[in-house]
Amino acid sequence: MTNLARAVAVTACSIALGATAPAEAAPIDGGAEYVALGDSGAATTGVRNFDVTAPPRCLRSTANTPKLIARDLGLRLDDRTCNSARIPDLAAAQQPGIPPQFEALGPGTRLVTVHIGANDALMAEHIVACHVYGLSGVGGCAGADWASAIDAIAAPYATALQQISALAPQAMIVVDGWPTYVRDGGCPELVGLRPSDAAPIQAAFDHLNTVVARVAAEHGATYVDTRAASVGRDACAPVGVRWIDPVIATETLLPYHLTPLGMRGVADVILPAIRAAGPTG
């Protein structure tokens, strides 16, 4: 692997690094009014708007989508989203100092937002491989193993939604999907990615959306599509337009993660779905 290939791999996976902090306090009033569950796709804007009250390992932001939703709706939020979280981390401690995300739920919870599954589907590993293959000129980008990894999240995702309903029976559960990450043909900012490999990456995110949307529908959760609203705002769009930072991540230092504008954009897509159901009124 070339030095540049290593740099791409390390940078794209840098969000997996971090420290630990004392556990967050469990709710004492039957669950927080609004609980946000999820991984870095909901938790972080990287080096921007860092929430110093959260476990450092979680890289949680003060301007992430859950916090924007809570502010707009006037809800008391317990934000449990955390970098590198996988579906099992909802019900069990992610690591010392990061308790189960479900700990925040209770009969008093009225709204739960969920954005998780990309780490379980090995998205980062396969995306890094696509860039490394492009830099080395050896190997292909997407294969059946990637599709299988995405399909495999359906069962644990379904179990998680069932557990949320049991723990917070009065809550509206909102599941948001993944936006547009790359456009056909890619761009120079996606270092090493061959033009022909851009479409397979986006197709994998679309596949992930399909799986999660189906499971949400089967278990009474509200699925919110963020793909359509983000067309033209992918990682190849200009700064100030794009919702996703590319490999040359100028806004967050986190490739393939939402920019602050992206967090705001996703919140603006989710909010109408919540208001239509009226769990806050």
Q: Which domains does the chain have, with CATH numbers?
A: 3-277 (3.40.50.1110)
Contact 90, 101 (CB under 8 A): yes
Q: Which two tokens stand for residue 55?
A: 């476990």
* Percent of the chain's residues with pLDDT above 70: 88
**Surface-to-core class of residue 152, CB atoms within 10 Å of its CB (0-12 exposed, 13-18 middle, 19+ buried):** middle
Q: Which residue has the higher pLDDT, 31 or 25?
A: 31
Q: What are the pLDDT digits (tens) for 182-239?
A: 999 999 999 999 999 999 999 999 999 999 999 999 999 999 999 999 999 999 999 9
Cα distance between the two ends of the chain:
56
How many other CB atoms are found less than 10 A from the CB of residue 190? 29
d(C-alpha 222, C-alpha 272), whole Å: 12
| Strand-pair partners of 201 | none
Q: What are the pLDDT digits (tens) for 133-184?
A: 888 877 778 778 999 999 999 999 999 999 999 999 999 999 999 999 999 9
Nearest CA-CA partner of 41 in 10, 6, 9, 15: 15
How many other CB atoms are found less than 10 A from the CB of residue 228? 9
With 70 as the cut, is the pLDDT of residue 18 above it? no
Sheet of 77-79: strand order equals 77-79, 34-38, 111-115, 172-176, 222-224
List of E strands, 61-110: 77-79
- Catalytic amino acids? 40, 257
Q: Model confidence at 9, in pLDDT bands (50, 70, 90)?
A: very low
User: Which residues fall within 8 angstroms of residue 34, CB to CB, at 6 or more apart?
Assistant: 66, 69, 70, 73, 75, 76, 77, 78, 109, 110, 111, 112, 113
Q: How, if at all, do strands 111-115 and 172-176 pair? A: parallel
